[in-house]
A and B are shown apart, each in its own frame.
Chain A
């Protein structure tokens, strides 16, 4: 199974700050990586697919990069509605696997 290691597990940042989350795969997954945002008590929402493609309707302050085993997710200017937990997911191989999550809150 491919293990997905996300870091940090939590972070606090101020409104307007740049936020960066990393996700490392235990083996090469090419660019088969997605990012999701889950607000408290809600279902996850797709933000990024194929490592760097922004899902339709998602604000441009969100971006993703990377390939192979190392990936980065960035919020260029943190907004109040961005609080919650972010997950990466690999879909290069079954079983599908998620990172452990990064909880983001406002400082």
Chain B
């Protein structure tokens, strides 16, 4: 059974940093793209970042480029999102999602982890 489970969310002050983790199981992690999608309170879905299988390429939304870094450790079946210079507008539930080998839709999603940026 495919599972993805996020952790690492919490309350952080503006300008602070946080690292999210996503533990995956039930599939050959290294061969699939993985992504992060966020949802601000009461709002719709916003794509954040994606990394290809084996980490060869990474892509970011303009809203987080230069501040967030996506990475993966295929030996641990774990995806990460390092978030620096956090802003109030980064407050959201962050979902980890499994992509496909080639296509970038998401067939499995975690339950989400809440990041709150507030002073």
Chain A positions within 8 Å of B, measured between CB atoms, are 32, 34, 36, 38, 42-46, 49-50, 55, 85, 87, 89, 91, 94-101
Query: A87 touching B59 by the CB < 8 A rule?
Result: no
Interface presence of B45 (CB below 8 A): yes
Chain B residues contacting A43 (CB-CB under 8 Å) are 95, 109-112
Shortest Cβ gap from A66 to chain B (Å): 15
**Count of inter-chain pairs, beta carbons less than 8 A:** 55
Interface presence of B50 (CB below 8 A): yes
Shortest Cβ gap from A48 to chain B (Å): 9
Query: B44 touching A101 by the CB < 8 A rule?
Result: yes
Chain B residues contacting A87 (CB-CB under 8 Å) are 44-45
A interface secondary structure, majority: loop
Query: B110 touching A95 by the CB < 8 A rule?
Result: no
Chain B positions within 8 Å of A, measured between CB atoms, are 35, 37, 44-47, 50, 59, 61-62, 95, 103-112
Chain A residues contacting B105 (CB-CB under 8 Å) are 34, 46, 49, 89, 91
The CA of A99 and the CA of B112, in the complex, are separated in Å by 20
Chain A residues contacting B50 (CB-CB under 8 Å) are 94, 96
In the complex, the chain B residue whose C-beta lies closest to that of A93 is B104
Query: A45 touching B109 by the CB < 8 A rule?
Result: yes
In the complex, the chain A residue whose C-beta lies closest to that of B110 is A43
User: Which 4 A/B pairs are nearest by Cβ-Cβ distance?
Assistant: A34-B105, A96-B47, A43-B109, A91-B104
The CA of A107 and the CA of B28, in the complex, are separated in Å by 44
The CA of A99 and the CA of B109, in the complex, are separated in Å by 18
Which of A36, A95, A96 contacts B62 (CB under 8 A)?
Answer: A95
The CA of A94 and the CA of B62, in the complex, are separated in Å by 11
The CA of A33 and the CA of B104, in the complex, are separated in Å by 10
